[in-house]
Chain A
Amino acid sequence: MSDRKLMAVSGVNPPLPGRGMLLISRTLSSSMDLINEFFEWFGDLGIFFWQVVRAAVTPPFEFRELFRQLDEIGSKSLPLVALAGAATGAVLSLEARYSLTRFGAKSLLPAAIVFSVIHETGPIITGLVVSGRVGAGIGAELASMKVTEQIDAIEASAVNPYRLLAATRILACILMLPFLTLAADLCGLIMGWVAQALVEPLSLHQFINSGFKGADFNDFLPPTFKTAVFGLIIGLIACFQGMRTQGGAAGVGRAATSSVVLSSLFVILADVVLVKFIIIFFP
């Protein structure tokens, strides 16, 4: 008979030295599980990415589906991206005016708006808006196809689902993000000018001349094209989360939510890295 049992039989309450250890062991075990899941997720994502790349570069190419996705992801996101860009431009103009006036640098307002919009707010707002609209859409669509065996049916029809569903969507995201960013930039700049012109008369010509003074392609191209990386992240994560879904309606909901959350998170993290990269290589 064990010591604990003997003590229990003799009416003595057994001491509890094991409880603390048990708690630590459980915490360690669940932490290890979380770490394992974290690395497993990255491993699976890497394998998925490799399968998509392999499918994308080998014929037959799914041009028809690609064009459909360019329309779905590009044209249909345009109104929302333009609106978000415009609102950001207006807010930026109002806020910057107040701050710059306080420091006696009101004349720098057009340049502050232009540089803020094309360097950072235009690209990041586009990335986040698209990750919300397109990430959720792709995640939910593919998850729904997965749980209703439509992806299996595509595979059973001898069509590669990585090529038809994933490669086309990811490529469309990569191609459309820079164009959507241009639209967001344009709307942001116009609304930035409008917000300023409403307070103090200023022609568009003056605003552009003053704002773009000293700007060159290095100010414009790298921040715009960095959104292609955002497109890769949004497309890849949304397709991955959608195509690995399990369970019914709840699984579809989880896939849509996780697509948005993870793609937004990785877009923000990638932005930090890319900004540093641009500062180093395109000073």
Chain B
Amino acid sequence: MDTIDQIAMKPGEAEEDGTVPVVAVEDLHKSFGSQKVLNGISLTVSRGETLAVLGRSGTGKSVLLKLIIGLQQPDSGSVRIHGQDIAGLALDQIGTIRKKMGFLFQHAALYDSLTVEQNVAFPLQHHKKNMSKSEQGDRVKELLAEVGMEGDLDKMPSDISGGMQKRVGLARALALEPDILLLDEPTAGLDPISSAEIDDLVLKLQAEHHMASIVVTHDLHSAKTIANRLALLNEGSVVIEGNFEDLRKSDIQFVREFLKHS
């Protein structure tokens, strides 16, 4: 039987050709006190696919991502990463799975006491101990060049704009070459030009790295640009799942209203 390390580090052939989902969420429930946030969500994402999770603010989109990466525990239901149920795993065990996941936080969550370069180097310093300092430095420069931030190595997070912080966050998320990328509101709070740049960047990275991606957003335009598939959430449940055309043709009142106001 495969250990957690083996499962997490070696995606199977079926996953490679996209027939078996890399991420499988089943009947997920989550409440905070008396407030029910997720009410039986089931979703799957395969390798090379981008799923956009849409919905109004406060419908549990970010909670869904945190459940997928194990930062929060579901009340019931399962989250399978490469076929491994992550519920109840110890912090160090789930760490092995997280090495293959990249997470871009809504506000980038850069370490404010570290420079841009040190932020991107952080995962490498902890998990690529066989890499020399200069190799790590080269890899950091390569990652920052990929997101167009190669000229800002020594800047502190407080000295760069929100869009730039998201780029650095994205470079950090890609540092360990993940095969799952989770993006929490990548364009929130950005001007239209910066949003379009982030969308282009995500598309480019997706084409280059062929990851399974889940993008949480309430920006329909961005979702339409970067995702193959969309899932619309309302009151903790998936109202509709499909491509943009499926959403456009839907007769569901909430879907129509959401599209009308987007």
Q: Give A residues with C-beta under 8 Å from B.
A: 51, 55, 58, 60, 144-145, 148-150, 152-160, 162
Which residue from chain A places its CB closest to the CB of B105 in the assembled complex? A149
A156 in contact with B98 given A58-B92, A150-B112, A162-B91 (CB within 8 Å): yes
Complex interface bits, B111-124 against A, C-beta within 8 A gives 1, otherwise 0: 11000000000110
Which residue from chain B places its CB closest to the CB of A59 in the assembled complex? B92
Q: Which residues of chain B are near A55, meaning CB under 8 Å?
A: 91
A68 CA to B106 CA, complexed, in Å: 29
Q: Which 10 A-B pairs have the closest CB atoms?
A: A158-B98, A158-B95, A149-B109, A153-B109, A156-B103, A157-B123, A158-B99, A159-B126, A149-B105, A160-B91
Contact B66 A152 (CB under 8 A): yes
A-B contact pairs, 19 of them (CB 8 A): A58-B92, A149-B105, A149-B109, A150-B112, A153-B109, A153-B111, A155-B98, A156-B69, A156-B103, A156-B105, A157-B98, A157-B126, A158-B96, A158-B99, A158-B123, A158-B126, A159-B126, A160-B91, A160-B95
Q: Which residues of chain A are near B172, meaning CB under 8 Å?
A: 153, 157
Which residue from chain B places its CB closest to the CB of A164 in the assembled complex? B126
B229 at the interface (CB under 8 A from A): no
Q: Which residues of chain A are near B110, meaning CB under 8 Å?
A: 150, 153
Contact B107 A157 (CB under 8 A): no
B256 at the interface (CB under 8 A from A): no
19 extra interface residue pairs, beta carbon distance < 8 Å, beyond A150-B112, A155-B91, A160-B95: A60-B129, A145-B111, A148-B109, A148-B112, A149-B106, A152-B71, A152-B105, A152-B109, A156-B69, A156-B105, A157-B98, A157-B172, A158-B96, A158-B123, A158-B127, A158-B176, A159-B126, A160-B92, A162-B91
A150 in contact with B111 given A155-B71, A156-B103 (CB within 8 Å): yes
Contact A148 B107 (CB under 8 A): yes
A107 CA to B136 CA, complexed, in Å: 66
Chain A interface secondary structure, helix, strand, loop or mixed?
A: helix
B101 at the interface (CB under 8 A from A): yes
Give the size of the chain B interface in residues (CB under 8 angstroms): 25
A162 CA to B95 CA, complexed, in Å: 13
Q: Which residues of chain A are near B71, meaning CB under 8 Å?
A: 152, 155-156
Find the residue from A60, A145, A156 having the highest chain B CB count within 10 A: A156
Q: Which residues of chain A are near B122, meaning CB under 8 Å?
A: 157, 159
Complex interface bits, B221-232 against A, C-beta within 8 A gives 1, otherwise 0: 000000000000
A162 CA to B90 CA, complexed, in Å: 13
Counted as pairs of residues, one from A and one from B, with CB atoms less than 8 Å apart, the total is 60
A191 CA to B127 CA, complexed, in Å: 50
A258 CA to B112 CA, complexed, in Å: 23
A152 CA to B71 CA, complexed, in Å: 7
CB distance from B68 to the nearest CB of A (A): 11
CB distance from B1 to the nearest CB of A (A): 22
Q: Which residues of chain B are near A149, meaning CB under 8 Å?
A: 105-107, 109
Contact B112 A159 (CB under 8 A): no
A276 CA to B91 CA, complexed, in Å: 40
Residues B159-188 near A (CB distance < 8 A):
172, 176
Q: Which residues of chain A are near B111, meaning CB under 8 Å?
A: 145, 150, 153-154
A51 CA to B165 CA, complexed, in Å: 32
Residues B68-107 near A (CB distance < 8 A):
69, 71, 91-92, 95-96, 98-99, 101, 103, 105-107
A211 CA to B102 CA, complexed, in Å: 63
Q: Which residues of chain B are near A154, meaning CB under 8 Å?
A: 111
Which residue from chain B places its CB closest to the CB of A148 in the assembled complex? B109
A145 CA to B107 CA, complexed, in Å: 12
Q: Which residues of chain A are near B112, meaning CB under 8 Å?
A: 144, 148, 150
A152 CA to B112 CA, complexed, in Å: 14
Q: Which residues of chain B are near A158, meaning CB under 8 Å?
A: 95-96, 98-99, 123, 126-127, 176
Q: Which residues of chain A are near B103, meaning CB under 8 Å?
A: 153, 156
CB distance from B85 to the nearest CB of A (A): 18
CB distance from A89 to the nearest CB of B (A): 36
CB distance from A159 to the nearest CB of B (A): 5
